[in-house]
Amino acid sequence: MFVTLEGPEGSGKTSQGEALAATLSKRIPLVLTREPGGTEFGERVRDTLLSFGAPPLDPLTQLLLLSAARAQHVREVLRPALADQRNVLCIRYSDSSRAYQGGGDGLPEASVEAAIAIATDGLEPDLTILLDLDPIEGLRRRASAGTEGAQEGWNRFDARELAFHERVRTAYLQLARKWPERVVTVNAARPFDIVRAEILEIVLSRLAVDTTGGTP
């Protein structure tokens, strides 16, 4: 099964992803990975996109860079793991491009979908957990060192204006309405352990459906 974790800044994707992976990997073969990243090339793209020292990039250039990193990730990591009957938990994937480059930056949906189609060659997640959080709270968490979500420091996307983050959240919620079977929204404003338990329950019930071919 291919599961993705999505959500705005500071929603706890990394810490929740690591907690979920620690629990799941005791029961099933699991690969934990992320975007941008997951391959050596992807991590370099991540540095370029997120660091303040890198040159300013047009939104289309960002979409194409992220897509190049995704193409490598799909071919080097995701497809081989799934072909090998392993499960994949990926922190951010195509929905991030829809929410950030489409919703946040306003690139045309047709461009974003074309880039996703080329990069993924049709590989869509079976399940997406959307950690939903008010951007003001998310950015507060990101800015305050030592709290969840602040692990990697303040980056170039965090520093975008509040309206950008509001558009990203709105776009994510629209994706959840568009694909209610695939995208499950979880309220990430609640305490970490409550959110963790809810995510685990959702994933386990989906895994049961997946392995029995229908009935949980």
Contacting residues toward ligand TMP, per CB under 6 A: 9, 35-36, 50, 66, 92, 96-97, 100-101, 152, 155, 157
d(CA 47, CA 44) in angstroms, rounded, equals 5
- Decide whether 36 or 135 has the Cβ nearer to ligand TMP: 36
Instruction: Determine contact, residues 109/178, Cβ cutoff 8 Å.
Output: no
- Quote the least distance from Cβ 9 to ligand TMP, whole Å: 6
- Decide whether 38 or 196 has the Cβ nearer to ligand TMP: 38
Cβ-based neighbours of 40, under 8 Å, separated by 6 or more: none
- Decide whether 39 or 101 has the Cβ nearer to ligand TMP: 101
Residue nearest to ligand TMP (CB): 157
- Quote the least distance from Cβ 63 to ligand TMP, whole Å: 8
- Quote the least distance from Cβ 26 to ligand TMP, whole Å: 25
- Decide whether 66 or 88 has the Cβ nearer to ligand TMP: 66
d(CA 119, CA 115) in angstroms, rounded, equals 6
The DSSP annotation for 161-184 comes to -HHHHHHHHHHHHHHHHH-TTTEE
Residues paired with residue 129 on neighbouring β-strands, in sequence order: 5, 184
- Decide whether 35 or 132 has the Cβ nearer to ligand TMP: 35
Query: 59: cis peptide before it, omega within 30°?
Result: no
- Quote the least distance from Cβ 143 to ligand TMP, whole Å: 13
**Is the alpha carbon torsion for 2, 171, 66, 63 positive or negative?**
positive
- Quote the least distance from Cβ 51 to ligand TMP, whole Å: 11
